[in-house]
Structures are given as structure tokens and as C-alpha cells.
């Protein structure tokens, strides 16, 4: 029943994305650009949320997956000489995005394997290292433009593509973790040994989380490449991974709605701070520290859903539920 209803939601979201994309020329291109970045960041943060928030694996290499997807899909669409708007461009672009996602998920598998042996901080530095290795390898490959970057990518990503993927990501992750199967993620996160003891295959859950998370990060990379039309290895450094993880933590680990909201807020924040020019990044860092100290369980806690969020906005808030230590 629940499954069924969420499929209807997905369909509605896809239709809405299609209809709204017809109006994309009627809003200011600047706001449009921010809306697209929000969508891409929602995909990145939600996919990382699956790895970090639900499966509890500390990954700092998300930018590497994004780079793989971006470069793979850019190579494919460039060699096919797709032109935006042509009939062939739609299925081909979809295929290129999926190919990018698949390449990323193969590497997700590679990253997932260390996670079977390593925990916490050690896993964090390993994933950060793998992300950097991916970046360095791309930087040394001349056919990808090396440090000069990859230019002349067709502008194929538009509102429909980005928000259709957003809908699919949210649908997939929400269904995955709410299913009986998906409860295993939370079990692995909360107590791996206990989970194993009751017959949950922790290895499998970790690997599934990494593969799925990496797949969507790769697709987000493909969308990004086909929106900005220029990619360069330095755009996928570990600072990018940090930005994504900040979205997850600010939104509340394992809180689907919270992470979406945080991705949006943290994309808008630097734009809103433009007026203060040179001070804005200092302010951004300061606000980040303040948010972490005042709301360590994330802005929206671990369990807050949309309904509670509305109530929270609507009335005098009750004391927050104590987060897990």
C-alpha cells in the first residue's frame, strides 16, 4: 500500500518536473541556475546520506564519484556530438548519465570493500584518499583534458533532467530504507555486531549503500557537467566532498527531508551572502560552527519529518528530542 502510494508520488513528481521545465525561460536565469544547483546538491547529499546517514559508513570521497560520472558522461555525449533539443539527445543523454552512474558505482564497490575492514576515522581517510586518487588520475589523462579541463560539453541538462533525477533519488532511497530489507541499514549503523548476531548481512548492506550512493553521485556529476558545460579536475577535490557531507550533517544524518532542506539552504546561503563579498565565506564558516553547536543533531534532528517540520515552523517549538550520543 505504502509502496504503491510512493510510486504515485514519483510519477506526479516526474510529471511536475516536465511541466515546470516548460516555464524555465520565464524566470531569471540567475535564479534558475541556483535552482539547478540546489537540485544537483540534493542528489549528492541524499546519495551520501544513504552511505553516511543510513548505513553509518563515514565516507569523505563523494566528489570522486561525482568526477567519474561527470567525465564518463561528458566523454560519451561529446563523442556522439549530441545537440540540445534534438530527438536523439534525450535517450542518448539518459544513457550517458546512467553510464556515468555505473562507472561511479564500480568505484563505489571498490570503496565499499575497505569499509568491511575499516571503521570511522580510518574509513574516512581511506575514502578521502580514494577520491583524491581518482582526481589525480583524471588530471594525468590527456584525452580528458588533464589540468586544462574538458570543454565544449553540450548543455543537455535542464530543469526536467535534474528534478526527475531528484525525484528518482528520493523515491529510491526512501523506499530502500523504509522497506523491511532497508531496516538492515539502520541495524548496521546502530550496532553492527548486534545486527550480525541476529542474521543481518552487514557486509552486503554496506556494499549496497556504497554502490547505490556512488551511482547517484555519478549521475549528479553527469548533470553538473552538462549544465556548467566545462569540467576541470580541481572542481572535484576533497573540499567538494566536505561541502556535501556538511549538507548531510546539517540536515540530520539519516533524515531524508532534513538533508534535502539543508542542501537547499546551504546552496542558497553563499548566494545570499554575496552582498557581503569577501566576508561571506568567513560568515558561512561561522554559521556552520554555530549550527553545529546549537543543533548538533542537525538542523532538523534525526527523526523530524515534513509534518513535524510544519508544526515546528507553525508554533512555539517543544524541547528537542535528545539526540543519540
Q: Which is nearer to other proteins, 105 or 189 (CB)?
A: 189
Task: Give whichever of 279 and 310 is closer to other proteins, judged by the CB atom.
Answer: 279
Backbone dihedral region of 149: left (phi > 0), alpha (psi from -120 to 50 degrees) or beta?
Answer: left
Q: Record the cell numbers describing residue 274, joined without a space.
A: 554575496
CB of 11 to other proteins, least distance (A): 31
> What span, in angstroms and rounded, lies between the C-alpha atoms of 169 and 40?
11
Q: Kindly state the smallest distance separating residue 96's Cβ from other proteins, in Å.
A: 20
Which C-beta is closer to other proteins: that of 10 or that of 244? 244
In the complex, least distance from residue 68 CB atom to other proteins, rounded to whole angstroms: 15
Letter string b/e over residues 13-28, b meaning 16 or more CB atoms within 10 A of that residue's CB: bbeebeeebeeeeeee
- For residue 322, the minimal CB distance to other proteins (Å) is 10
Q: Closest CB to other proteins among 3 and 294? A: 294
Shortest separation between residue 129's beta carbon and other proteins, angstroms: 3
DSSP state of 296: T
Comparison of 307 and 319: residue with beta carbon closer to other proteins: 319
Q: What's the rounded Cα separation, in Å, for the pair 64 and 159? A: 24
Q: Are 231 and 150 in contact (CB under 8 A)?
A: yes
What contacts 139, CB < 8 A, 6 or more positions away?
146, 147, 233
Instruction: Cell numbers for 263, please give them.
Output: 542542501
Q: How far is the CB of 296 from other proteins (least distance, A)?
A: 4
How far, in Å, CA of 24 to CA of 31, rounded?
10
Q: What nine digits make up the cell of 69?
A: 560520472
- Minimum distance of other proteins from residue 109's CB (angstroms): 15
Place of cell 535564479: 31
Q: How far apart are CA 164 and CA 135, in angstroms?
A: 28
Q: Quote the CA–CA distance of 228 and 155 in Å, as a whole number.
A: 7
Cell 549496497, residue? 208
CB of 13 to other proteins, least distance (A): 25
CA distance 240 to 261: 18
Amino acid at each position: 500500500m505504502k509502496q504503491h502510494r510512493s510510486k504515485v508520488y514519483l510519477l506526479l513528481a516526474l510529471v511536475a518536473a516536465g511541466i515546470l521545465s516548460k516555464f524555465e525561460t520565464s524566470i531569471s536565469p540567475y535564479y534558475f541556475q541556483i535552482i539547478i544547483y540546489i537540485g544537483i546538491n540534493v542528489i549528492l547529499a541524499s546519495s551520501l546520506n544513504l552511505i553516511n546517514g543510513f548505513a553509518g559508513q563515514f565516507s569523505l570521497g563523494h566528489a570522486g564519484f561525482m568526477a567519474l560520472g561527470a567525465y564518463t558522461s561528458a566523454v560519451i555525449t561529446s563523442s556522439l556530438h549530441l545537440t540540445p533539443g534534438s530527438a536523439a539527445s534525450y535517450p542518448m543523454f539518459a544513457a550517458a548519465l546512467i553510464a556515468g552512474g555505473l562507472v561511479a558505482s564500480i568505484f563505489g564497490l571498490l570503496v565499499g570493500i575497505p569499509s568491511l575492514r575499516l571503521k570511522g576515522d580510518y574509513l574516512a581517510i581511506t575514502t578521502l584518499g580514494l577520491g583524491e586518487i581518482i582526481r589525480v588520475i583524471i588530471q594525468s589523462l590527456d584525452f580528458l583534458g588533464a589540468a586544462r579541463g574538458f570543454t565544449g560539453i553540450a548543455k543537455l541538462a535542464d530543469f526536467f533532467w535534474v528534478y526527475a533525477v531528484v525525484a528518482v533519488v528520493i523515491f529510491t532511497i526512501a523506499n530502500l530504507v523504509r522497506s523491511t530489507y532497508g531496516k538492515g541499514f539502520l541495524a548496521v549503523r546502530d550496532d553492527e555486531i548486534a545486527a550480525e548476531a541476529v542474521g543481518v548481512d552487514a557486509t552486503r548492506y554496506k556494499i549496497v549503500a556504497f554502490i547505490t550512493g556512488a551511482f547517484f553521485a555519478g549521475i549528479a556529476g553527469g548533470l553538473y557537467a552538462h549544465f556548467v558545460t566545462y569540467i576541470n579536475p580541481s572542481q572535484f577535490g576533497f573540499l567538494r566532498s566536505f561541502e556535501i557531507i556538511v549538507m548531510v550533517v546539517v540536515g540530520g544524518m539519516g533524515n531524508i527531508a532534513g538533508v534535502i532542506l539543508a542542501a537547499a539552504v546551504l546552496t542558497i546561503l553563499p548566494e545570499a551572502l554575496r552582498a557581503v563579498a569577501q566576508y561571506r565565506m568567513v560568515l558561512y564558516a561561522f554559521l556552520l560552527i554555530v549550527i553545529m553547536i546549537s543543533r548538533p543533531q542537525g538542523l532538523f534532528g534525526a527523526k523530524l519529518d515534513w509534518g513535524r517540520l510544519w508544526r515546528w515552523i507553525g508554533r512555539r517549538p517543544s524541547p528537542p528530542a535528545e539526540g543519540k550520543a
